[in-house]
Chains A and B, each alone.
Chain A
Amino acid sequence: KNQVEQSPQSLIILEGKNCTLQCNYTVSPFSNLRWYKQDTGRGPVSLTIMTFSENTKSNGRYTATLDADTKQSSLHITASQLSDSASYICVVNPFNAGNMLTFGGGTRLMVKP
């Protein structure tokens, strides 16, 4: 069983709308939880990194939240743009594991005009 589960697998929204992507994880203990954006044919780009003690982290229109008690994280995208069309990947860094990251399967977001 994957230790990082994301939902939904795919999502279509209209330009300008908001959306929220979910991530449930079982990795424990962990050092930090990350959200990456991956455009088709490119390497992932870091959006946010939260330590286990942080509850929220923002990067422009992207806001990530973390609830370590329920082992859930979410990524909220505000006022979506066409360029937000990409895969969004939730990543958990286990404690004391260097960069031995555990990846979720990703949510593929499509923003339509």
Chain B
Amino acid sequence: KAGVTQTPRYLIKTRGQQVTLSCSPISGHRSVSWYQQTPGQGLQFLFEYFSETQRNKGNFPGRFSGRQFSNSRSEMNVSTLELGDSALYLCASSVPAGGTDTQYFGPGTRLTVL
């Protein structure tokens, strides 16, 4: 089975712009979660989608949003970019949501905001 794929892998934007990141989960996985990783804050939960519905949302401003499509692919959007949004954005998928299900992470999208 192909793993979780994320596109693009690298992205450079300037302050004030908006960005859309894409995540394709492992075939058959219906839960997709997004995380932000920075050197200062480590890994932090952004949001989780299951069957096109947002199940949980982390403590991030409304500039961060996401959605999931009927084929389980997911996108996250960050509007009005700030320097502090520079981070590695990771997507993870699992079969159902939560419990003891193993999450499989993608390689991440490294976003740099100038």
Chain A positions near chain B (C-beta within 8 angstroms) = 31-32, 41-46, 49, 51, 89, 91, 93, 96-106
Segment among B61-69, B70-78, B94-102 that sits at the interface with chain A: B94-102
With A99-B33, A103-B43, A105-B42 known as contacts, the answer to whether A45 contacts B105 (CB < 8 A) is yes
Q: Is the interface of A mostly helix, strand, loop or mixed?
A: loop
Question: Is there contact, CB below 8 Å, between B43 and A89?
Answer: yes
Tell which of A44, A102, A106 touches B105, judged by Cβ atoms closer than 8 Å: A44
| B27 at the binding interface (Cβ < 8 Å) | no
Question: Is there contact, CB below 8 Å, between A98 and B50?
Answer: yes
Cα–Cα distance between A81 and B26 once the two chains are bound (Å):
29
In the bound complex, residues from chain A placing their C-beta under 8 Å from that of B105 are 43-45
Question: Is there contact, CB below 8 Å, between A97 and B98?
Answer: yes
Question: Is there contact, CB below 8 Å, between A99 and B43?
Answer: no
Cα–Cα distance between A79 and B10 once the two chains are bound (Å):
36
Question: Is there contact, CB below 8 Å, between A31 and B100?
Answer: yes
Q: What is the minimal beta-carbon distance from B48 to any residue of chain A, in angstroms?
A: 5
| B58 at the binding interface (Cβ < 8 Å) | yes
In the bound complex, residues from chain B placing their C-beta under 8 Å from that of A46 are 102-104
Question: Is there contact, CB below 8 Å, between A100 and B48?
Answer: yes
Cα–Cα distance between A53 and B102 once the two chains are bound (Å):
18
Q: What is the minimal beta-carbon distance from A47 to any residue of chain B, in angstroms?
A: 10
Q: What is the minimal beta-carbon distance from A64 to any residue of chain B, in angstroms?
A: 13
Q: What is the minimal beta-carbon distance from B66 to any residue of chain A, in angstroms?
A: 13
In the bound complex, residues from chain B placing their C-beta under 8 Å from that of A100 are 45, 48, 56, 58
In the bound complex, residues from chain B placing their C-beta under 8 Å from that of A97 are 56, 98
Cα–Cα distance between A31 and B101 once the two chains are bound (Å):
11
Q: A44-B43, A106-B42 are in contact. List 5 more A-B contacts (CB 8 A).
A: A89-B42, A91-B43, A99-B56, A99-B103, A100-B56
Q: What is the minimal beta-carbon distance from B2 to any residue of chain A, in angstroms?
A: 14
